[in-house]
Each structure stands twice: as C-alpha cells, then as structure tokens.
Chain A
Amino acid sequence: MDRFRFRLYKDRLFKTAVILFSFSSVLPLLLILFYIFKNGVAVINWQFLTSLPRPMGEIGGGISNAIVGTGMLLAVSCLLAIPLGVSAGIYLAEHKTGRLSYLVRLCVEILQGIPSIVIGIIAYVWIVLPLRTFSAVSGGIALAIMMLPVIVRSAEETLKLIPDSLKEAALALGVPYYKTILKVVLPAGLSGVVTGIILSIARVAGETAPLLFTAFGNPFMNFNLLKPVNSMPLLVFNYAASPYPEWHTLAWGTSLVLGVFVLLLNMFAKVLTKKWKVQF
C-alpha cells in the first residue's frame, strides 16, 4: 500500500520537475526580450534610424550607417549564395545516389558545422589580404559561405518531394530538361526553397564573428563595396564593449531593431511553411 503511494508520489514529483524545468528554460528568452524592449524602445525614433552615430559624449545620433551596411552585406551574400545554393540543391535532388552526391552532401553537412569565426579567417585570407583592405565584399562572401549549406539542404529536401510523374509529363511533351527543371520542378517546390533562403538570411543577419575582420565596421556612411562597412551586430558588439553610457543606449536600440528583424524573418519562414505547403 505504502509502496504504491510512493510510486504515485514519485510520478507526480517527476512531472512537476519536468514542467518546472521546461518552463524555466524559456525564462531567458522572456528576460532578454524584456530588457531589450525596456532599454531599446525609448531610443528608437525616426532620427535613430536615419542619422549617423555622433562622437562620444554627445547625446543622440543614430545607426543609419549600420542599417545600410547590413543591407549591403546581405545583398552581396544573397547574390552569391542563392544561385549557387539553389542549383547545388537541384543537383542533389536530381541525383539522389551517386558518388558526387554523397560527397557533396557530406561537404555541405561539414560546412554547416564550421564555427563562424573560422569562416571569418577564411574570408580574411581569401579576400582581405589580396585586396589589402577590409571591405563589404569580403564580409558578404563570409556570410554567403554561411548561408550556402542552409539553402542547399532546404532546396534539396523540398525538390526531392516533387513527384517524378510531374517531371515525366513535362519531358513527355518534349520540354527540354532545363526548362522542365526551371519551369515545372522549381516552381512546384518554390515555397520550400524560399523558406530556406529566408531562414539562411535570418541565420546570418545577426552574425558578428565572421564580420570582425572582414567588414570590420565603420563609423561613417559608406556605399562603396570595396570599403569597410558597419553592420548592426558589429555596432552592438563595439558599443557594448565601450565605456560610454550613450553608446550603450544606442546598442540597446540596435539590439531591438536587429532582434525584431531576425525574429520576424524566422516567424515569416514558419508561417510560409505552414500556409504555402508543397503538397502532392
């Protein structure tokens, strides 16, 4: 009798512990969001988004250069990673077996696991050293290397799901192979491909480590791809480490903008997978 009660008691205790631990593990998320909003909301206004950082000591100033820089970096990386990643994904979906496919899958898996700081070193050696200057291009290339594995895998996974009958129907009508892929297979799996691209952008938009010695940061506005640019994560990192309270306030505001941007991208990708399913 007592033993029976003891077992029930243990069961209940365990359930309570599981629930307690589960919900307390999202506590940091709430705390982070709370502090970012609390300290960031007051900073954000039109001037914050459109003006340049002021010299230290002066109140005010904005992060327009970082927003433009992040935009440039993302544009360069998308331009490089999307075509390459999607076509490699198509290759893998079209060649399910084979030695090269196996090798490529392995490589993509390893690429996905490379620490971001190592990618920074690579972009530094490949681009910054030959050009002899930190630049937006080198940062964009570093981010592109980080985006590639995500894009390749999502494109492959989605395009694999497209039934062969669809492709066979197109080929039977005499449509060339490349048109079959571009006009039949790719549009049918577009939602998955687009979701993958959005997720990869969300992955790199907040990356700082690969930019430390590629894009480097820049207190001024810069539109030149071959010059250093600032980006929102870099600005947060540099200002957080500084001793000036004004800069800390700017960093809180930037964290809010960046965090909301990344979380929105993630949520958008999630909604997209739900509403715009690949179904056959």
Chain B
Amino acid sequence: METESNTGAISVIEFLDAVKNSGKTKRWQLDPFTTPESIFRALLYGSAFCMVLLLAGILLTLIIESFPAIKAFGLKFLFSKTWDPVTEEFGALPFLIGTLITSFLALAISIPFSLSLSLYLGEYAAEDFLSSLLRSAVELLAGVPSVIYGFWGLFILVPVVRFIEIKLGVTPYGVGMLTSSLILAIMIIPYSASLGREVIRLVPIELKEAAYSLGATRFEVIRRVILPYVVSGITAGNILALGRAIGETMAVTMVIGNSNFIPRSIFAPANTMASVIANEFTEATGTLYLSSLVEIGLLLFVVTMVINILGKQIIKKMSVQV
C-alpha cells in the first residue's frame, strides 16, 4: 500500500515537471526498470521510436539488397532498355516508361470525374440524401480490394477494350496500358474526390455571396471564385492520387499484359515497376536478378515518398492559410 501511493506521488511530480519543461523532459530521471511508471513510459517511447526504426530499416534494407545491381549498372540502370535475365543485363527504362504513362494517363482520365464529384458533393448538393448516398458509394469504391478490381478488369473490361481495339483496327490484345490506366483511374477517383470536396467546402461563404450579389451565375462563381481559391488543394489531391497510381500493384499486374519491352502504343502490353516485381520476384534466380528487382522497389519507394511528402506539404500550407 505504502509503495503504491509513493509511486503515484512521484509520478504526479514527474508529470508536472514534464508539463513545466515539455519538450526537454528528462524521461530517465527514475531508474527505468524499477517502477511500472517508468516501464510504461519507456514502452510508449520505445514503440514511438519503433516507427523511426522501421522506416530506417526499410530504407536501409532496400539500399543494401539492391547494392549489387547499383554496383553493376550504376546510372545505366535507369536508361538501359534491355531487361534480360538470361544474359543478366538489367535496365529499368521500359518499366519507368510504363509506370509514367499508365499513371499519368489514369490521372488524366480521373480528373474530370473527381473534379465533378468534389464540386457536386462540396458545392451543388452539400447536405441532401442523394449526395450522402453518392459519398458513401465513393467511399465504398475506395474500399474495394485491388485484386477484385484486377479480376473484374480482366474479365469485363478487357473484352470491352479488345472490342474497341478491333473497331480501331489496332492489334487486339485487350490487356495493355490503356486497360491498366482505366482501372487505375477508377481506383484513384475516390482519393482526389474526397480531398477536393473537403477543400471546396472550406471556401468562405462571404466570397461566394459577394460574387452572387454582383450577378454572377453559379458557373461563374465556381470558375472565378471557388476554383482559384482551392486550386492548391485540388492539386494536392491529384498528386496524392498519382502517388497511389504509381504504387498500385495487383490490379495493374492482372491487366497490363506483362511485356518487358518499351511499349509502342498505349494499346500495347507493358509492365510497370510494381507489376514487374510482382511477376518476377519469386522466379528471380541469381543475386543480380533479385537485386535489380529490389532496386526497382527502391526507386518505387523513393518516388512515392517524394510525391506523398509534396502532396502533404501543400495540404499543410493550405490548412494554415485557411
């Protein structure tokens, strides 16, 4: 009994201390392993620190594992278009191009839809039943597992694209970059739409009312007042959506057709950075092959990290401004 109340007393003092000089608290004033108090604090501290360790570990592992490939190919890895496991020559250019084209095409396809969705949900019909139904549907769309998108795409979308290709007179693969971009576009619409809706709702009502009182139509208010106000938020949403499109694996792997050459048209089969890893990682024999695939993973990691930080930075700046 005596000891327990003691522990309590010490901890309150320590807590007040911590409040007084928060930020530079001496957490290890007590012997770390004698009281449940300090053990608990150490656990919290440790698990927070684990996040840092985890990220550092992931980055280090990727760098170490891809070191043989980095040493063997250097910068040529990014510019060489040969990917040949037999002669052990690896260049990632086809996959970089595949990723760039599919993700930007997906973004371009998705923008009219996501912008309309955010305008409709944020401005036209902010609170009625239909819009809440629409919002739930969009949220559900974000929750569908990507393997189901891929499966559906393979059996429903691929025949449709093949039909279009036959009509257009190009080689009817069905699978290929266009199909992947369509699937990706469907998958990323919810992300940019939900952020777009948030920022459109933040536009001050005074600005809109001022424009209306001058006789502006709703379209003019949207074009001259709302869009200029939210342009950075919309951009951020699209940047984050692009990050998702670049990292997306399963749906793309199932419909892109897996070809390790630089694609000749958007209808042609190709491979993205993520899909080549998914396809070849388990069959990679030999250190150089494996570490080349890991290096692609490292590139993927760095690119998505930069894109995410960029997007989040824009959002943070916005929220300060608003």
User: Does chain A have a CB within 8 A of B282?
Assistant: yes
> Which of B40, B48, B140, B307 sits near A100, CB closer than 8 Å?
B48
In the bound complex, do residue B65 and residue A125 qualify as a contact, i.e. CB atoms below 8 Å apart?
A: yes
In the bound complex, do residue B243 and residue A113 qualify as a contact, i.e. CB atoms below 8 Å apart?
A: yes
User: Does chain A have a CB within 8 A of B176?
Assistant: no
In the bound complex, do residue B297 and residue A110 qualify as a contact, i.e. CB atoms below 8 Å apart?
A: no
In the bound complex, do residue A118 and residue B116 qualify as a contact, i.e. CB atoms below 8 Å apart?
A: no
A118 and B301 in contact, given A92-B48, A97-B23 (Cβ under 8 angstroms) = yes
In the bound complex, do residue B217 and residue A115 qualify as a contact, i.e. CB atoms below 8 Å apart?
A: no
User: Does chain A have a CB within 8 A of B278?
Assistant: yes
User: Does chain B have a CB within 8 A of A176?
Assistant: yes
User: Does chain B have a CB within 8 A of A22?
Assistant: yes
Chain A residues with CB under 8 A of B309: 109-110
In the bound complex, do residue B54 and residue A18 qualify as a contact, i.e. CB atoms below 8 Å apart?
A: no
User: Does chain A have a CB within 8 A of B210?
Assistant: no
User: Does chain A have a CB within 8 A of B247?
Assistant: yes
In the complex, A91 Cα to B52 Cα: how many Å? 13
* CB nearest to A85 among chain B residues: B47
User: Does chain A have a CB within 8 A of B114?
Assistant: yes
* CB nearest to A258 among chain B residues: B145
A29 and B113 in contact, given A91-B48, A125-B65, A240-B154 (Cβ under 8 angstroms) = no
Binds B, one of A4-12, A49-57, A58-66, A218-226: A4-12
| B41-55 contact mask (Cβ, 8 Å, vs A): 1 or 0 | 101110111111011
Chain A residues with CB under 8 A of B39: 178
Most B CB contacts (10 A, CB to CB) among A7, A17, A25, A35 go to A25
In the bound complex, do residue B305 and residue A110 qualify as a contact, i.e. CB atoms below 8 Å apart?
A: yes
15 A-B interface contacts by CB (under 8 A)? A21-B113, A24-B113, A25-B186, A29-B140, A85-B47, A100-B45, A113-B305, A121-B62, A176-B36, A202-B143, A206-B147, A208-B250, A209-B250, A233-B147, A259-B148
> Which of B8, B49, B58 sits near A114, CB closer than 8 Å?
B58
Interface of A is mostly: helix
| A235-264 contact mask (Cβ, 8 Å, vs B): 1 or 0 | 011001100000010010001001100110
A36 and B137 in contact, given A88-B50, A110-B309, A145-B54 (Cβ under 8 angstroms) = no
Chain B residues with CB under 8 A of A148: 51, 54
Which residues does B use to contact A, with CB under 8 Å? 5, 7-9, 11-12, 14-15, 22-23, 36-37, 39-41, 43-45, 47-52, 54-55, 57-58, 61-62, 65, 112-117, 119-121, 124, 134, 136-141, 143-152, 154-156, 186, 189, 193, 217-220, 222, 243, 246-250, 254, 274, 277-278, 281-282, 293-294, 297, 300-301, 304-305, 307-309, 312
In the bound complex, do residue B137 and residue A29 qualify as a contact, i.e. CB atoms below 8 Å apart?
A: yes
Nearest first, the 10 A-B pairs at minimum CB distance are A206-B145, A115-B247, A21-B116, A178-B40, A113-B308, A91-B48, A11-B217, A25-B113, A209-B249, A11-B219
* CB nearest to A145 among chain B residues: B54
> Which of A23, A126, A207 sits near B61, CB closer than 8 Å?
A126
Chain A residues with CB under 8 A of B54: 107, 111, 145, 148
A58 → B minimal CB distance (Å):
22
User: Does chain B have a CB within 8 A of A90?
Assistant: yes
In the complex, A261 Cα to B122 Cα: how many Å? 30
A69 → B minimal CB distance (Å):
14
In the bound complex, do residue B65 and residue A240 qualify as a contact, i.e. CB atoms below 8 Å apart?
A: no
In the complex, A111 Cα to B117 Cα: how many Å? 28
In the bound complex, do residue A237 and residue B217 qualify as a contact, i.e. CB atoms below 8 Å apart?
A: no
A110 and B117 in contact, given A176-B8, A181-B40 (Cβ under 8 angstroms) = no
In the bound complex, do residue B144 and residue A259 qualify as a contact, i.e. CB atoms below 8 Å apart?
A: yes
Chain B residues with CB under 8 A of A24: 113
In the bound complex, do residue A115 and residue B151 qualify as a contact, i.e. CB atoms below 8 Å apart?
A: no
User: Does chain B have a CB within 8 A of A1?
Assistant: no
User: Does chain B have a CB within 8 A of A183?
Assistant: no
Most B CB contacts (10 A, CB to CB) among A11, A177, A255 go to A177
A122 and B62 in contact, given A14-B219, A91-B48, A97-B22 (Cβ under 8 angstroms) = yes
User: Does chain B have a CB within 8 A of A28?
Assistant: yes
For chain A, residues 195 to 215, give those with C-beta under 8 angstroms from any C-beta of chain B. Answer: 202, 205-209, 212-213
> Which of A18, A124, A207, A241 sits near B281, CB closer than 8 Å?
A124
In the complex, A17 Cα to B223 Cα: how many Å? 14
In the bound complex, do residue B250 and residue A107 qualify as a contact, i.e. CB atoms below 8 Å apart?
A: no
> Which of A90, A116, A240 sits near B254, CB closer than 8 Å?
A240
User: Does chain B have a CB within 8 A of A117?
Assistant: yes
Most B CB contacts (10 A, CB to CB) among A21, A108, A208 go to A208
* CB nearest to A108 among chain B residues: B51
